[in-house]
Structure 1
């Protein structure tokens, strides 16, 4: 007891040392509080959480949310104890107390922000998360939290009521609208995108004016990430998906079939009526037998009504090689195992041009997988190009240098 009294007397005689001793005691107390919370209470909380499904979730570990909340305790000790340090200047105590309050506010804001990030991560793991992403709303929530935290931090540092700061924001409304213009526009665009289900993560979108053509990999408040097919990343402002035209291929992917729309350009000089010999030769095609039989019966009945005029071939109907080829292509597609028979299927002539007569194939595959689609399409046209000479048709193409060389050699 005498030692304690002597120490008190000595400290009373040396006020500066007494102040330093109390400050050291305060710092030791805050360190001890931090140790107890993080090593004791925090360990107990983690032990309780170990019995839950999120026990070893990496997101909780990386975000370190619980540890951030634990940092509030030593700050509270310092903020409360600094007022009881003897001999400390009043302004120093006020500044330390205000800084401590600001630190607590900022720490809580960061912890809440981390909590929102974890909520977004857990939500993204849901099956329907791609249809209704909430990342934009999470980012808006973070902005609101940090704006409120900034106001409270400034109020704490200047030791004024936050109401005074808020009353001054009315005059700054125009400036704030200008500063947060992009954020407000992006928020409105995010709401429209989500409510109207315009795009989802995983959709294939195409926006030619921004050179974007690929899969949506992230939908955020201010921008949407599109990974192009060459593996580059295009960052598109969210509002551009409301104001600019773009193509979403989700309908094709969900339909289960992808369209083939390609033409064969035929040399118009190779088009002619089939002779009897050519018609009999085409009877070898199994797919053409029903067409040739039905068509010949129809033509014979029509020509029989012409009587005397039917003796001249120019007055009669006859089967053409291009019509027969068109029927063959249609039958070929109808019997193809990789063509969707429930969707539109057309084989049609387009307007003739100086580059030949385009015969267009319009149908859908029964798969939307890109490489399979391209393989099916190529196999079909490989066959059609190879089978064309059987019908006496030729593909049109401009003469090359080799063609001109062969022609000159033949003339010589």
Structure 2
């Protein structure tokens, strides 16, 4: 009965025009245009009203609830898309009655309304997934997970299904009927090569815990040196220390080598590994007088007392002739300096005592003998770490002359000038 009443009102203009002498064709055409225009206007008004009501209701609801998930639904326009459902259903119910005398237009309308319905459905799902992603990002356990990659995978799958449905809706045939399954697979692989590689890579990155959001990575191939801010299917976004951004293909994280500093940040300290080059001709054996002079340096006094007594006892026991300094066992200024640096690091509060510390002599080079300091700064923040390392080497370099040693330095023009003047005077 209700459909009959609708049909009566739909054809009211047509009946009126025919009664006034208008031909049935023109009466039907005018009736169609006017009724469709009226339906579209009413639907548009209903859509606007419902959208305002639903959006307002969502806003009020999100303010009153304790959870933040509904806030993210509002931000992703979920309520706006959801509000289009009722007007769409009204069109789907009413318009076919208007177009029942026009089969071609009716079929076209069904195609358009179904395609729009599919697109609207995908947008609603996308909005919900984005809200879920943003909500999970606020949780501590999900902060460093590549959630965007998973959302993109689901969206690719949904859009793929939507395209299949749209093609079927327009042609009436399954999309696979246009070509063999092998050819279709080849085309898909070609078009979505990077996406497939990115998808596989993002899974491996997540499962193997290779990179997390917030990790500091160094990737020389792409000029990246900074913090990972985003991981998705196609790219990894890195904010460099100079506040520039570098994008890296996700699949390159499993195909190439890069440096992840997470282990350092999670450990008890940050490594310091640097050497001072000592001139070889400044290294010498220590006389008794020099040893007594070095005992005034507090950090090595106990060491010198113990070591000097041990060496003296050994030389006396063996009957070593110490009138020539090279005979027997001896202390050197370089060895004593190495022990001094070791003691200095031991009492330095900025150096981690829980991690390995070592002061060692490396193989001689044309530029001198490297004295390498290997230790860990307790403070891992970059600025503080650089300050700790600088303080250590400031002290070490300043202490070198106290042990009658010299730091190697390439000669400058001034050095050559002084040498020339001495040569002239000579």
Shift of 1:88: 4.6
2:356 aligns to what SS in structure 1?
Answer: coil
Contact persistence 2:271–2:376 (CA under 8 A): yes
Distance in 2 (CA, whole Å) between partners of 1:265 and 1:257 is 25
CA distance 1:254–1:18, shift in 2 (3 Å): same
Pair 1:331 & 2:337 matched: no
Contact persistence 1:388–1:394 (CA under 8 A): yes
CA distance 1:19–1:408, shift in 2 (3 Å): closer
Pair 1:295 & 2:307 matched: yes
Shift of 1:312: 4.8
Q: How does 1:46-125 map to 2 (within 5 A)?
A: 46-53=59-66, 59-85=72-98, 88-125=101-138
For residue 165 of structure 1, the aligned residue among 165, 169, 175 is 175
For residue 353 of structure 1, the aligned residue among 361, 365, 372 is 365
Shift of 1:302: 1.2
Distance in 2 (CA, whole Å) between partners of 1:228 and 1:10 is 74
Contact persistence 1:340–1:365 (CA under 8 A): yes
Distance in 2 (CA, whole Å) between partners of 1:344 and 1:305 is 37
Residue aligning to 1:314: 326
Please give the per-residue CA displacement for 1:64-117, whole angstroms capped at 9, x wherever unaligned.
Answer: 112112212222222332221167521012112210111111111111111111
Please give the per-residue CA displacement for 1:244-291, whole angstroms capped at 9, x wherever unaligned.
Answer: 001100000111311111111011111111122221111111111111
CA distance 1:52–1:167, shift in 2 (3 Å): farther
Distance in 2 (CA, whole Å) between partners of 1:220 and 1:55 is 23
Please give the per-residue CA displacement for 1:137-179, whole angstroms capped at 9, x wherever unaligned.
Answer: 1110111111111222232334x26xx2355572411211221
Shift of 1:208: 1.2
RMSD value over aligned CA atoms?
A: 2.4
Please give the per-residue CA displacement for 1:27-66, whole angstroms capped at 9, x wherever unaligned.
Answer: 2442354245334455445544443235796643332112
Residue aligning to 1:153: 166
Distance in 2 (CA, whole Å) between partners of 1:359 and 1:41 is 73
TM-score (norm 1): 0.91
Distance in 2 (CA, whole Å) between partners of 1:382 and 1:27 is 80
Distance in 2 (CA, whole Å) between partners of 1:56 and 1:183 is 29
Contact persistence 1:22–1:86 (CA under 8 A): no
Contact persistence 2:276–2:370 (CA under 8 A): yes
Distance in 1 (CA, whole Å) between partners of 2:328 and 2:398 is 31
Residue aligning to 1:283: 295
Pair 1:410 & 2:422 matched: yes
Pair 1:386 & 2:363 matched: no
Residue aligning to 2:4: none
Residue aligning to 2:236: 224
Contact persistence 1:15–1:87 (CA under 8 A): no
Shift of 1:11: 3.5
For residue 410 of structure 2, the aligned residue among 381, 398, 401 is 398
Q: How does 1:227-306 map to 2 (within 5 A)?
A: 227-306=239-318
For residue 181 of structure 1, the aligned residue among 193, 197, 211 is 193
Distance in 2 (CA, whole Å) between partners of 1:256 and 1:201 is 21
Pair 1:373 & 2:385 matched: yes
Contact persistence 2:58–2:74 (CA under 8 A): no
Contact persistence 1:12–1:18 (CA under 8 A): no
Contact persistence 2:286–2:331 (CA under 8 A): yes
Shift of 1:398: 2.0
Return 83-92 or 95-104, whichever deviates more: 83-92
Return 399-408 or 303-312, whichever deviates more: 303-312
TM-score (norm 2): 0.89
Residue aligning to 1:10: 16
Pair 1:196 & 2:208 matched: yes
Distance in 2 (CA, whole Å) between partners of 1:198 and 1:142 is 24
Contact persistence 1:207–1:213 (CA under 8 A): yes
Distance in 1 (CA, whole Å) between partners of 2:332 and 2:81 is 83
Distance in 1 (CA, whole Å) between partners of 2:94 and 2:327 is 114
**How many pairs align?**
406
Shift of 1:217: 0.9
Contact persistence 2:350–2:388 (CA under 8 A): yes
